[in-house]
Structure 1
Amino acid sequence: MVVTVNKIIPFSTVDGPGNRTAIFLQGCNMNCLYCHNPETRGKCVHCGTCINSCPTGALSFEGQKVVYNSTKCIHCDRCINVCPHDSSPKTLDMTPEQVWQKVENQIPFIRGITVSGGECTLYPEFLTELFTLAQAHGLSTLIDSNGTLDFEQYPDLLAVTDGVMLDIKAGNSEEHKRVTGWDNSLVLKNARFLASKAKLYEVRTVVSPGLFDAEQTIIQTGDMLSGFLSLRPIRYKLISYRPIGVRQQYKDTLKIPAREQMEYYARLLAAKGFKDIIII
């Protein structure tokens, strides 16, 4: 079983509790207008656009494929900034065992692993195998997801998953479809199901004024999940949109929320019983 891996961050303190290894898989089924890592969305088609942008010659053509030489790379990201396919020439195809070999070097220094993307739940069997290896070595396992996998249909994956970090992009279905290209019915079903099984670690909403009704989304999500807080505390992360890393066509059209507005949303959640609320 092989998936395309965008990158592996050995030590991360922002992808779940404690120090963790974060694995980013390539490919996403949503098209979020504010996507902050669009280079993880598509697969490389070996068009070669990136080659001339590389200042160190780390990219070249061999046959009909773009080849990446990591020893020459200075990580300037010019290649992903010019890619017309929301991809990266620096990805690797890896099995769960190969990813685990990268993870186990950090075992004395990490609490667990988090797999993100792209959208990592496009590869549920891969996650199940990787998480089984991680839990056998005492590491916790988290999924960072947009909620488009019906988790109820994957009990084997859920059994080896300690928690899910779930994006709720918009509470209204039509707004969600406009922001992401997807209806949100499965996302909301997953939120309720995961919370009922004490598997919902974190909910996140990115706020950009005028893009969708953030206040109604936060109120609706808070009402939906407040009854499950006694089973497991659920962190709510309120994320301010920032024009960093986003695609150029959206950079100047989306707005940054005021800090006061984000604090108001946090108070709404606190009134519904949420204790762990983070504004970033």
Structure 2
Amino acid sequence: MQVNTAIVNKIIRFSSVDGPGNRTVVFLQGCNFNCRYCHNPETIGACRQCGACIPYCKTNAITLVDGKILYDRDRCVNCDECFHHCPHGSSPKTERMTPEEVFEEVKKNMPYIRGITISGGECTLWRDFLVELLTLAKNVGLSTMLDSNGTYDFSKDKELMAVVDAVMLDVKAFDRSEHEKVTGIHNDMVLSNLRYLAECDKLFEVRTVAVPELFDTKHTVYETSRLLHEVGKQEGIRYKLIKYRPIGVREEYRSYETPTEEYMNQLRDIAYNNGMKDIVII
């Protein structure tokens, strides 16, 4: 029988910004978007064992043995030079793990966490892994959340939704052509998921990164909040408006300006005027 595994980028033991309460966050590797402003481009692709990162590791924490990358966590000083020089949008620090192995790490943080959040990359690329891991979490009373770009059709997967308490959904851009410009993919499924998750009370948070030079952010915030108002669920959903920052962004996309406080407040006012009550600017 084939063992169910996923490639894990990292596990943050305690986070207060990835859902309600203190949570353990599991970041899975791989993404079907290629956002120009991606702040974690090392989560996009799988390691190809090419060794291109090795010359940039100052502590010899990365080696290539028999065609396979080996990573020594004890030697690593987290300088991230390996990320910055990977030609495939990946990391040599990833690890293939089973749901049981990940959950063993999660259990070490109990009883100091309220739940777990699975992020990425795009976590739904590992659907079967999600079902098993979240089932383990639900069985011990932990709340379960996903941080998703919204390209997976949640409405067609009752088994997955049965073990997901809520989803944090990215709306990169509302306009279809602008979304393709930002991510390389259209957003038809994203907006369908926005409506579906709101209607079934499983949409905890909507997130939009503000990059005014790249797409019409005001239009996105207006239309997103208007759609939530249309389904009558806007008061129970958080809208997180995130400033673009160049930190971690690939060099070719670092020229965008960070929005001003005044601009972010304008976005907040747009969402508020459409009925959003819980609006966070970061």
TM class by smaller structure:
over 0.9
What corresponds to 2:98 in structure 1? 95
Contact 1:41 1:118 in 2 (8 A): yes
Does residue 1:219 correspond to 2:200, yes or no?
Answer: no
Does residue 1:170 correspond to 2:154, yes or no?
Answer: no
What corresponds to 1:73 in structure 2? 76
What corresponds to 1:263 in structure 2? 265
What corresponds to 1:272 in structure 2? 274
Give per-residue Cα distances to partners, 1:69-112, cap 9 Å, x unaligned. 11111111111111111100000000111100000111110011
What corresponds to 1:188 in structure 2? 191
Give per-residue Cα distances to partners, 1:205-245, cap 9 Å, x unaligned. 11111211111111111111124455871000001100000
Sequence identity percentage = 53
Alignment CA distance shift 1:52-1:230 (3 Å): closer
Does residue 1:47 correspond to 2:34, yes or no?
Answer: no
What corresponds to 1:209 in structure 2? 212
Q: Is there any run of 5+ residues in structure 2 with no aligned partner, and where?
A: none
Contact 1:114 1:144 in 2 (8 A): yes
Measured in 2, the distance between the counterparts of 1:8 and 1:141 equals 15
Measured in 1, the distance between the counterparts of 2:163 and 2:278 equals 24
Give per-residue Cα distances to partners, 1:133-173, cap 9 Å, x unaligned. 10111111110000000001111111111110000011110
Letter in 1 for 2:105: K
The secondary structure found in structure 1 opposite 2:74 is: helix
What corresponds to 1:60 in structure 2? 63
TM superposition score normalised by structure 1? 0.97
Contact 1:196 1:231 in 2 (8 A): no
Give per-residue Cα distances to partners, 1:177-225, cap 9 Å, x unaligned. 0110111111000000000000000001111112111111111111111
Alignment CA distance shift 1:118-1:234 (3 Å): same
Q: Is there any run of 5+ residues in structure 1 with no aligned partner, and where?
A: none
Measured in 2, the distance between the counterparts of 1:79 and 1:183 equals 31
1:123 to 121, 126, 129: 126
RMSD of Structure 2 on Structure 1 (CA): 1.1
The secondary structure found in structure 2 opposite 1:33 is: coil
The secondary structure found in structure 2 opposite 1:224 is: helix
Measured in 2, the distance between the counterparts of 1:175 and 1:94 equals 36
The secondary structure found in structure 2 opposite 1:102 is: helix
Aligned length: 279
What corresponds to 1:38 in structure 2? 41
